[in-house]
Structure 1
Amino acid sequence: MPSCEMMLHLFFDNNVIIDLLNNKYVIAKLNKKFALKDMGDLHYFLGIQVTRTCDGGLVLTQQKYVGEVSKKAGMVGCASCHTPLPSTVKISALGGSSFYDPKLYRSIIGSLQYLTITRPEICYSVNKLSQFVQAPLDCHWRMVKRVLRYLSGTASYGLHIKQDSSMGVTAYSDSDWAGDPDDRKSTSGYCVFLGSNLISWASKKQSAVARSSTEAEYRSMADAVAELIWVKTMMSELLYPSPEAPMLYCDNLSAVLLAANPILHSKSKHFEIDLHFVRDHVNNKEIQVSHIPGSVQLADILTKAIPSESFLHFRAKLSVHDQQLIAGSQNCSSSTE
């Protein structure tokens, strides 16, 4: 469980944090609800290294853990690559020979899932490869090794949490329609920002086949709206409500119009529950929905394997940076264990 100070950094500006952390009364009140122990500044927790920056921010990395996973897979000293998966790859559960050690495959996949805590850009790759743990093939293991090569070359990268006075909540949702070559199910992805900080993200395969790209996008939008409602409620419980309705960005114009236009209702009965769920929150002005071009759709990195140029651009937008470069550019000494 993250320290009290780390959680406060996510939701309050620097002056408020100083007042709260110096207030013994607040700590005492929190201690009545939660078991707290002041262990000083956070440096290392459950495989996550915490580096402080001079501007009061944090960089969360798992460099040591990446090394342990690479060693387990026999990939120490491997050549690096720019992306977790090739943009042209179509991973299938059919064809090819069975992998000789399914137990090793499952173990590495489990470790990669833990790495997504600080590395949101590998969520799609890990989600996709997790779908074959029951009967992995040699081609699946080659893709796992590709992900490990990417991580080995970017082991010092992590999630950068910055000081930000903005408390606005924004989200991006996207889908890859019928992207699975085996069952033609789509992949949903979304990411949620508090100010400029990434606080929530997901990549998952949809449970039903979408009959159109609009349906796939709308189902992804419904997942994002559910997450936004949860974040909004949590902020209210922390007595720091969002100043305005969260904004959700989607690159499918039909899905955006469908959120507020009942005329298309007759064409959308096969996903009617999601339709009304999103529309109710939009009509009640609890959520705002807006269209954006696909070129700036950050959630694209969570739904498919994309070319390296786009991948590197979106990775930076998700606030995944090299902790060594951040500390060096600010002439700030890092604290890691």
Structure 2
Amino acid sequence: MYQPDGFVDQDKPDYMCKLTKALYGLKQALRAWFDTFSNFLIDFGFVCSTSDPSLFTYSRDNNFMVLLLYVDDILLIGNTVGILQKLVDALSERFSMKDMETPTYFLGIEMQTLPDGVFLHQTAYVKEILHAAAMSDCNPMPTPLPQRIEEMDTTLFEDPTYFRSLAGTATFGMYIKKSSDLTLMAYCDSDWSGCPETRRSTTGFCTILGSNLVSWSAKRQETVSRSSTEAEYRALA
């Protein structure tokens, strides 16, 4: 690290500081922290997911844990209290951490625990957006745009940021139910040349694990399909 302006040693202006650890706020700090924490988890017995490097799983002697790491926020679940407490104690000895007990808020998502599952929603985040736009007392709209626009007015909206963010879905969320059924299903569909300008089709899909929706998407296809069958095959692929 070079000597910062205003603190240069006049006798040794070419000297640099050799860091023994990463400084908070520097680009390499996050990488150094992740390496340190992930190595600790791996030594404990966790395995890092190949599809999501922030997801770690532990399975040993009928004990199972799942840990999700996002910078310095952690979500942890397990099938026995003993193994969870063992990990929490080990983490507390190695790092300065605080156990927040049952999660209620994580990365802008509120978690409401119910007898037969968990309800995830972003009501507080939506209210923050409404407050920032000075529209907390405005009447909500179900959707700001029609599903298809055939003729568009050429007059551009002055500030489309708020317009794209505000809809009457503040209380909407995702309900994840407890279920022993772990059947994985996927559904897909497509229109054909739905865009009147580019003639490209739109693909939609959703993935369901048991009775719970886990992923979904709706986006324009990258190329023009010459038939509805081709558009459907692209969606399936």
TM-score by length of structure 2 reads 0.57
- Contact 1:84 1:150 (8 Å CA) reproduced: no
> How far apart, in 1, do the equivalents of 2:180 and 2:226 lie?
43
Equivalent residue, structure 1, for 2:199 = 184
Structure 1 residues 217 and 72: CA distance shift in structure 2, 3 A: farther
Q: Map 1:1-337; keep pairs closer than 5 Å.
A: 19-24=79-84, 27=87, 38-55=99-116, 57-83=117-143, 85-87=145-147, 89-90=148-149, 95-101=153-159, 105-106=160-161, 108=162, 141=163, 144=164, 148-151=166-169, 155-222=170-237
> How far apart, in 2, do the equivalents of 1:58 and 1:175 lie?
31
- Contact 2:55 2:66 (8 Å CA) reproduced: no
- Contact 1:2 1:45 (8 Å CA) reproduced: no
- Contact 1:20 1:26 (8 Å CA) reproduced: no
Structure 1 residues 25 and 176: CA distance shift in structure 2, 3 A: same
> How far apart, in 2, do the equivalents of 1:193 and 1:215 lie?
25
Percent identity between the two aligned chains: 40
Q: Report which of the two structures shows the higher radius of gyration computed on alpha carbons.
A: 2
Structure 1 residues 60 and 84: CA distance shift in structure 2, 3 A: farther
Counterpart of 2:202 in structure 1: which amino acid? T
- Contact 1:177 1:216 (8 Å CA) reproduced: yes
TM-superposed deviation, 1:39: 2.8
- Contact 2:78 2:84 (8 Å CA) reproduced: no
- Contact 2:187 2:206 (8 Å CA) reproduced: yes
> How far apart, in 2, do the equivalents of 1:201 and 1:21 lie?
33
- Contact 1:175 1:217 (8 Å CA) reproduced: yes
Structure 1 residues 148 and 25: CA distance shift in structure 2, 3 A: closer
CA deviation profile, 1:144-199 (whole Å, cap 9, x unmatched): 3xx72322xxx122100110100100011011221112111111111101100111
> How far apart, in 2, do the equivalents of 1:70 and 1:53 lie?
27
- Gap runs ≥5 in structure 1: 10-16, 109-140, 223-337
Matched residue SS, 1:23 = helix
Counterpart of 1:171 in structure 2: which amino acid? A
- Contact 1:79 1:149 (8 Å CA) reproduced: no
> How far apart, in 2, do the equivalents of 1:49 and 1:186 lie?
35
> How far apart, in 1, do the equivalents of 2:186 and 2:144 lie?
24
- Contact 1:78 1:149 (8 Å CA) reproduced: no
Structure 1 residues 21 and 212: CA distance shift in structure 2, 3 A: farther
Structure 1 residues 75 and 198: CA distance shift in structure 2, 3 A: same
> How far apart, in 1, do the equivalents of 2:124 and 2:177 lie?
23
Name the structure, 1 or 2, with higher relative contact order (CA <8 Å, separation 6+). Answer: 1
Looking at secondary structure, tell me which structure has more strand per residue: 2
